[in-house]
Structure 1
């Protein structure tokens, strides 16, 4: 069984904003059906709570919070970036651009600099912050499965990290997108693809073996 030694492991909480996770959030309608079906919110809580209990570090991997003028002078903004600007997604200083109440930053947590596109690694300090504290294994939870989670996980693998995806601690805009992320793309780069219950068992067992 895979081990998650607390000193080597970090849970990456990707884009856990109110706009995604809360009723009334701008992107909540995108994921609410799948999130309800797989009990995503409760599973997110369980992974984060268990990680804290066993001493595994929590890293917040936040998407850029929209501000007026974003992308105006960009030569090649992506369709998603333009859509985010139109919707003012995760707008800075607003409720939607604030971390959900259950995933607020706590003492000892690491908050990476905000990513502008999908991956949490390029043009941020995430890789530096992981290596600074000796982290070799990353567990990814959050949204969306086929965009920011997948892109961060893929680059993490390329950078040499052991990568774990969690089937029911993420969601996507469609079942097809979720299937592609976890069952088609995921096995090409992820070292483990687990359910929340499997991950919790592995984290607790690893902590007991310290």
Structure 2
């Protein structure tokens, strides 16, 4: 089991009840958010903000383990990516992290129907994940544009595959992962977050991973480690 620093360790005497989510493979999916170079690679434009947390939680390796286990278990796998096209850079307003992403040209693509320069760019998937994502079976949704899946077809795709339970992982903890968690819960899905298969920003404004972890404890149907998730996938 993953060892967490005292800052991230669960309370010894929690006050909230455990939802006790029971994984059922026949209605479960692994959803991985933004498994892309710009988030997860030292070559990505945001590494200076997210790299420390990614390394601390071994996020890249844990996501790969989840992909492999989900494929072995035969459950639905979906990826919800982030792409920005030239028209998106003409937005007239945005929040702080939106402005950072646009200033860095994070997840940049030349257009929705144009893949020139896409391969191995910051918007591309991490190379070690491509065998799982590009197998012709994994759902690759339309891009989400800010943080949540309200603007893409994730919920539709999951329902069309008979999914009502979601194992959630990817980037970033207090941004897209938390936003996906909240929307999927509102859409009636049962959601478990894999706490060490994500990471958060570290800035003077605060520890994004800690902020997300606190909210996961309050609202997720389950909060598992990668090891716990692998065990459930192998025996469910």
Report the TM-score, using the length of structure 2 for normalisation: 0.81
Task: Decide which of 94, 112, 121 is 2:141's aligned counterpart.
Answer: 112
Kindly tell me: are residues 79 and 179 of structure 1, through their superposed partners in 2, closer, same or farther at Cα, counting changes over 3 Å?
closer
1:190 matched to 2:220? The reply is yes
Work out the CA distance in 2 between the residues paired with 1:204 and 1:5: 11
Q: Deviations over 1:62-118 (max 9, x none)?
A: 11x22223242x343333223222111011144111011122222211011101110
1:142 aligns with 170
1:177 matched to 2:177? The reply is no
Q: CA deviation at 1:9?
A: 0.7
Work out the CA distance in 1 between the residues paired with 2:105 and 2:27: 37
SS for the counterpart of 1:58 is strand
Task: Decide which of 87, 100, 106 is 1:69's aligned counterpart.
Answer: 87
Could you tell me whether the CA contact under 8 Å between 1:66 and 1:84 is conserved in 2? no
CA RMSD of aligned residues (A): 1.6
Task: Decide which of 195, 201, 213 is 1:167's aligned counterpart.
Answer: 195
SS for the counterpart of 1:32 is helix
Can you give the 5+ residue segments of structure 2 that lack an aligned partner in the other structure? 1-19, 110-116
1:122 aligns with 150
Work out the CA distance in 1 between the residues paired with 2:87 and 2:22: 45
SS for the counterpart of 1:20 is helix
Q: Deviations over 1:154-180 (max 9, x none)?
A: 111111100111111000013832122
Alignment of 1:5-84 (within 5 A): 5-63=24-82, 65-72=83-90, 74-84=91-101
Can you give the 5+ residue segments of structure 1 that lack an aligned partner in the other structure? none
1:103 matched to 2:134? The reply is no
Task: Decide which of 59, 79, 88 is 2:105's aligned counterpart.
Answer: 88
SS for the counterpart of 1:70 is helix
SS for the counterpart of 2:182 is helix
SS for the counterpart of 2:86 is coil
SS for the counterpart of 2:223 is strand
Report the TM-score, using the length of structure 1 for normalisation: 0.90
